[in-house]
Amino acid sequence: MIASSLVSVALTASLLALPAIPAPVVTTDALPIPNITADRWIAYDADAGVVLASWNANDRASMASVTKVMTAIIVIENADLNEVVTVPSFATNSRGSVAGLVTGEEWTVGDLLIAMLVRSGNDAALTLGWYVGGESVSTFVDMMNAKARSFGMKNTHFANPNGLDNEEHYSTATDLLTLIIESQKYPDIQRIGRIKLVSMPAGPNGESRTFTNTNKLLGAYPGVVGLKTGDTPWADKVLLGVTERAGRTIYTVVMHSDDHFSDTRELIDWAYSTYSIQDRWMRAFYSEEGGGGAGSTPPDLSESHERRLRAMPRLDSGQWNTSTAFDLPKSESIARWIREALPSAGEG
């Protein structure tokens, strides 16, 4: 549990069972993919377990502070959130975004995670890496790279726990999507990633500390519940996004962007314009517009949703090549949804 020093935390409920990648890529029937500034990106349907679209997704590039998601995973696996850490002097000399840690201060691991993921404090990342690495940041970095290999992140290498530019510090959109998927298996990362505003322990001289999440989409754009921003000279702007809207979860990655918030909004809206796996199965209830009678209409659907479903080709119409147009859901949660929504489909 996150340390009791939290005074105000904005959280969004709802934890999802997440599929693993590698994921199939699907041909969608949505609007044309938007023209965004990021030169590497990916959009992923977490419910169906498919990549909806991508661009230069396997090209390596600097990843900036989204690195801290991996840092958080290593910390959570190797330390209790209530453990107390004394801030080392070298961490307080960090460049870039900092949480304002002071040498000799005592922070809990949980509070340091908040300072790192919400404020994107490089000083907090170094403090955590030093502590969990047995007072060796290089040992901690080795742990990060070992974890990346275990996740199948073949085009990723870490040189530090905070994401500052380094020739040996890089990833790809595909690997960062893997990092999102793996991170969502950790409830503490989910909770911290959804914090919009938080009050932290006062400084040594009694000064107040309030952190606002660096992800400006959080709480401002419909459905956005995480995850992490990044911005360095080599990486430009990077954003790992988690969006939950209308019962559907979309993950997005943008790298080397001029405006990671605008690009992510465009990808979110585009992704939600594609037909979900639920839409495709619900289509069985409807005949084409002007055609014969429909089957039993599911309750609680809006008129616009009904029109959308009627306009879709039927699964058996031959207008979809089912080997490329969509993949049947792999997760038990979606399989259960299909059984409940379409009992006539049987169990087989």
Q: For the chain, report the end-to-end CA distance as a whole number of angstroms.
A: 42
Question: What's phi and psi for 170, nearest 5 deg?
Answer: -160, 165
Give the amino acid at 345: A
Residues 283/314, Cβ–Cβ less than 8 Å: yes
CA torsion, points 26, 27, 32, 36, in degrees to nearest 10?
Answer: 30
Q: What pLDDT was estimated at residue 31?
A: 59
Max mean pLDDT among 166-175, 207-216, 290-299 falls in 166-175
Which pLDDT band holds residue 297 (cuts at 50, 70, 90)?
very low
In whole numbers, what is the pLDDT of the chain averaged over residues?
Answer: 80
Which pLDDT band holds residue 128 (cuts at 50, 70, 90)?
very high
In the predicted structure, residue 82 carries a pLDDT above the cut 80: yes
Where helices occur in the chain by DSSP H, the ranges are: 67-78, 109-117, 122-132, 137-151, 173-183, 187-193, 260-273, 277-282, 303-311, 332-341
Which pLDDT band holds residue 202 (cuts at 50, 70, 90)?
confident
Domains present along the chain, CATH in parentheses: 53-273 (3.40.710.10), 277-343 (no CATH)
Least confident of 94-108, 255-269, 300-314: 300-314
Q: What pLDDT was estimated at residue 345?
A: 35
Q: What pLDDT was estimated at residue 208?
A: 86
pLDDT tens string 145-179: 999 999 999 999 999 999 999 999 999 999 999 99
